[in-house]
């Protein structure tokens, strides 16, 4: 009998990607799936790619109390909604990996200011572990509640963590430009995601500050000696999936560039899903699509460091990372169901 797993919100993009990983996992058994829109339909009817892999019926989330107990549940519900069902699961003794932002930010007032939602479960925030294995692996092992990081935040934190850990960055010098595919906006249709609206176009948004900015700054501040300040601007590009993040910063020590690639390699020496490129090589989205890898390349320009980070927003930016966290929590090999290269072309 494998590890029993449940998925809340299974028919969005992250839910479908999560199931794609889980059906190839040798140690899990998917016990139930919830969906509001597709309750009563088999998951293989909603997503035909799962025929002969998984044919169970999606149920309405209102029936959560009557569903079989599971060892771990993944919540792919939106912020503000997820917290209520996470609380119900924790009270039943279920360990939870939450995809929403509801438990990522430790300061409640900061969460409420950025997300415009009153937090109803403050007592779980302190308990929650930020689910970035490369930094919090040991805490994740014993966690009851893992707050799966945001996709943009994952790219920025992994791109900067080695520098902050050594105190090498000049204060207030970090500027980040991230370009993401349209699946990052979710599966529910909106005008901006229509093909004729987004095709052959690149657009920026939330230049006043993106909601994932506080989690980036919180984690990086904990790694460094003072408060991290990140100027972050996201852009939407007309691709289905993937993120390319370009980070511009200035370092404190003259000539530091000579050892920075070695620093990154050493920092991520235990992390099989972070790949640091050699000098003069930079990653692209096509190298990481449909994978759990995060690729990092470094460049230098007149005292500035440019870090280029590529990951799949549905893989390492969401569902792949969630499975990686589950593997750590339940003593599976960390690479189980995840160790496959990106799909090219």
Per-residue pLDDT reduced to its tens digit, 72-99: 999 999 999 999 999 999 999 999 999 9
Find the mean pLDDT for residues 150-170. Answer: 96
Find the mean pLDDT for residues 237-262. Answer: 89
d(CA 6, CA 45): 18
How much is the pLDDT for 258? 76
In this prediction, what percent of the chain has a pLDDT beyond 70?
Answer: 99
Contacts of 267 (CB under 8 A, 6+ apart): 161, 162, 165
The three-class DSSP label of residue 176 is strand
How much is the pLDDT for 288? 98
Left, alpha or beta for 93 (phi > 0: left; psi -120 to 50: alpha)? left
| φ/ψ (deg, to 5) at 129 | -110, 130
d(CA 241, CA 104): 23
Query: Does pLDDT of 255 surpass 70?
Result: no
Query: Does pLDDT of 183 surpass 70?
Result: yes
Any idea which of 45-59, 65-79, 208-222, 241-255 has the lowest mean pLDDT? 241-255
Find the mean pLDDT for residues 318-341. Answer: 97
Per-residue pLDDT reduced to its tens digit, 263-283: 999 999 999 999 999 998 999
Please name which of 227, 215, 84 lies closest in space to residue 151, comparing C-alpha atoms.
Answer: 215
How much is the pLDDT for 224? 86
Contact 89, 96 (CB under 8 A): yes
Query: Does pLDDT of 217 surpass 80?
Result: yes
Contacts of 231 (CB under 8 A, 6+ apart): 174, 175, 176
How much is the pLDDT for 302? 84
Mean pLDDT, the chain, rounded, equals: 95
How much is the pLDDT for 188? 80
Per-residue pLDDT reduced to its tens digit, 3-33: 999 999 999 999 999 999 999 999 999 999 9
Parse the chain into domains and list their residue ranges: 3-127, 152-313
In this chain, the answer to whether the domains covering 3-127 and 152-313 adopt an identical fold is no
Superfamily of domain 152-313: Dihydrodipicolinate Reductase; domain 2 (3.30.360.10)
Q: What is the pTM of this model?
A: 0.96
Any idea which of 181-195, 241-255, 329-343 has the lowest mean pLDDT? 181-195
Provide DSSP, 18-75: HHHHHTT-TTEEEEEEE-STTTTSBHHHHSGGGTTT--PBEE-GGGGGGSPP-SEEEE
CA distance readout (Å), 1 to 49, 92, 202, 331: 25, 21, 48, 16
Report residue 14 as tokens: 């992250």
- Kindly tell me the burial class for residue 322, based on how many C-beta atoms sit within 10 Å of its own C-beta (0-12, 13-18, 19 or more): buried
Q: How confident is the model at residue 203 (pLDDT cuts 50, 70, 90)?
A: very high
How much is the pLDDT for 192? 80
Higher pLDDT, 94 or 227: 94
Find the mean pLDDT for residues 247-273. Answer: 89
CATH class of 3-127: alpha beta
Per-residue pLDDT reduced to its tens digit, 123-133: 999 999 999 99
d(CA 57, CA 50): 12
> What are the residue numbers of the active site?
151
How much is the pLDDT for 252? 81
């Amino acid at each position: 009998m494998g590890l029993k797993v449940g998925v809340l919100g299974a028919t969005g993009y992250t839910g479908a990607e999560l199931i794609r990983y889980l059906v190839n996992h040798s140690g899990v058994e998917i016990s139930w799936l919830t969906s509001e829109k597709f309750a009563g339909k088999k998951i293989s009817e909603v997503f035909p790619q799962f025929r002969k892999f998984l044919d169970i019926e999606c149920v309405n989330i209102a029936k959560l109390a009557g569903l079989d107990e599971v060892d771990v549940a993944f919540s792919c519900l939106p912020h503000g909604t997820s917290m209520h069902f996470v609380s119900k699961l924790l009270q039943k003794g279920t360990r939870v990996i939450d995809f929403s932002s509801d438990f990522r930010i430790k300061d409640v007032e900061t969460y409420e200011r950025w997300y415009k939602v009153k937090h109803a479960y403050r007592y779980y925030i302190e308990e929650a572990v930020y689910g970035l294995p490369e930094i919090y692996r040991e805490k994740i092992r014993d966690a009851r509640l893992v707050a799966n990081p945001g996709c943009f935040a994952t790219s920025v934190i992994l791109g900067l963590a080695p520098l902050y850990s050594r105190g090498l960055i000049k204060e207030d010098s970090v500027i980040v430009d991230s370009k993401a595919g349209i699946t990052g906006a979710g599966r529910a249709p909106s005008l901006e995601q229509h093909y004729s609206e987004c095709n052959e176009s690149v657009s920026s948004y939330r230049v006043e500050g993106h909601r994932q900015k506080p989690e980036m700054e919180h984690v990086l501040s904990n790694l460094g000696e003072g408060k991290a300040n990140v100027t972050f601007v996201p852009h939407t590009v007309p691709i289905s999936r993937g993120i390319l993040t370009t980070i511009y910063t200035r370092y404190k020590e003259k000539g530091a560039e000579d050892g920075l690639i070695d620093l990154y390699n050493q920092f991520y020496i235990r992390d099989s899903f972070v790949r640091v490129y050699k000098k003069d090589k930079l990653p692209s989205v096509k190298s990481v699509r449909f994978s759990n890898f995060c690729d990092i390349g470094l460049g230098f320009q007149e005292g500035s460091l440019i870090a280029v980070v590529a990951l799949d927003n549905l893989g390492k930016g969401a569902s792949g990372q969630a499975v990686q966290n589950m593997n750590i929590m339940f003593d599976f090999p960390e690479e189980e169901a995840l160790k496959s290269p990106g799909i090219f072309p």
